[in-house]
Structure 1
């Protein structure tokens, strides 16, 4: 987590607010700079943000000042924009986050290429001995139905065996990393080379800046129940901040994206046939087994 010096720096920053003419979200101000713990050593922090709900409707109407006369009108327009997949008005809002996360989570995260990223450099600095070690309830075998998911939780001796391997391998790799570094009078390896021996569960940090449209896309995928747990908890922590930042936009996002379902043409046809009283099977639906399974999960 953060060091005492870093926490003191955050307290000092929050103790000296400054007047501004820019749009301010009171909900986001409450999160600004503060670290929200994630996993065993990670966190997310809001470093800066731009815009609020009013900025979205202002951009949509290309208007001045507050952008609208009534909050109800703002909400209706934002829901319309979300419902009809408009993107640019939501791009008027941006947020910059400081994130501490395991490297294997970062490799998933970086696939969202519509953001600006600057990562802690292990070429210049020595990484800390901090590794993500899953809690016992997160140790699970491979799913038998999902090639990229988890199945039954490990218990007893098997859980203990796996935990021991994770801890011992991580510490052994870091011991060798330290032993290889050019320091303490030995020639050793440069940091940029020695780092290649580190495990994927070591923690890194980065600044990540993204607009609200692309952040919603990130949250739709990574805050979903089917997302990998280790990135999902980061997405959930970010979502809690976004909900306070742009409550109207986030409510529309929850309704139309997180709570909504996109139907294929085949799925619509099956629903129409069902409403007409026909009993439709997977074989008669024209869907693959995977599509049918997902359809049945929602519609029964």
Structure 2
């Protein structure tokens, strides 16, 4: 179960006793506060707190650029201008704090985004629960033959069953040994900080993760992309749905210029010009590597 009965009761109590405030609130985000969105088999994402909204981005920008901008651009237009021209500071005026439960191997990928504040559940002080991420059959795939970081064809039949059984049995055996090594029930055993080293990377951990909107957009651009690893992508997609309700104008600009946009190299621009001029351009005469050319063709055909 993603949340314990005590945690669910705490959430219901918090939502049942709203407090008046003079701070700006985003109605779209208020509906998400505290609620846990299930992710994977045992994970979740929930909003603990947030600061700012679309208006906060505009307010910060007009402090930077002067009151005259209000006469020439409406709020949505200004936000799109900021996004289009990579003026990131106004987006840093919004922040969000999330409670996330996720497998350790996903957390180690996630933590590469170092522009956030993180506090993780400590297995030095506490005993981790017997909860492991076991993929659904359609998430079991072989190594890609063209991408060292990606997946290829989905495993089928006996091979899929064999892999699933290994994942389940290894996780269970490792946790049994973890429990057997702990200093508890009158046994001297190992300290928790040592016993934890035997746990598998698919065991679940939890953390609080606080980040500003500019850096959150960078996270979403990479992790909500269709090429991202599935296990982190589903978390990013759950967060993206919350952000869309929180700052709809900013998220719309983000979708347009970042998620739906394409960054071209100088070689890419030159190839487009040559194509528009009617020239037959191939990878061999484009000046691009095979990898660059493959990515170019995926977008422009």
Question: Which residue is equivalent to 1:4?
Answer: 5
Question: Which residue is equivalent to 2:219?
Answer: 218
Q: Deviations over 1:163-204 (max 9, x none)?
A: 000000000000000000000001000000000000000000
Q: In the alignment, is the contact (CA less than 8 A) between 2:58 and 2:90 conserved in 1?
A: yes
Shift of 1:69: 7.3
Question: Which residue is equivalent to 2:155?
Answer: 154
Unpaired runs of at least 5, structure 1: none
Distance 1:68 1:53 in 2: 16
Question: Which residue is equivalent to 1:42?
Answer: 43
Question: Which residue is equivalent to 2:112?
Answer: 111
Question: Which residue is equivalent to 2:53?
Answer: 52
User: Is the counterpart of residue 80 in structure 1 residue 81 in structure 2?
Assistant: yes
Question: Which residue is equivalent to 1:243?
Answer: 244
Q: In the alignment, is the contact (CA less than 8 A) between 1:90 and 1:212 conserved in 2?
A: yes
Shift of 1:5: 1.2
Q: In the alignment, is the contact (CA less than 8 A) between 1:45 and 1:99 conserved in 2?
A: yes
Question: Which residue is equivalent to 2:28?
Answer: 27
Secondary structure of the residue aligned to 1:2 is: coil
Matched residue count: 296
Unpaired runs of at least 5, structure 2: none
TM-score, normalised on structure 2? 0.97
Which portions of structure 1, spanning 4 or more consecutive aligned residues, are displaced by more than 4 angstroms? 67-70
Shift of 1:4: 1.1
Q: In the alignment, is the contact (CA less than 8 A) between 1:58 and 1:68 conserved in 2?
A: no
Shift of 1:286: 0.5
Matches within 5 A, 1:123-272: 123-272=124-273
Q: In the alignment, is the contact (CA less than 8 A) between 1:68 and 1:74 conserved in 2?
A: no
Shift of 1:123: 0.2
The alignment yields a C-alpha RMSD, in angstroms, of: 1.3
Secondary structure of the residue aligned to 2:261 is: coil
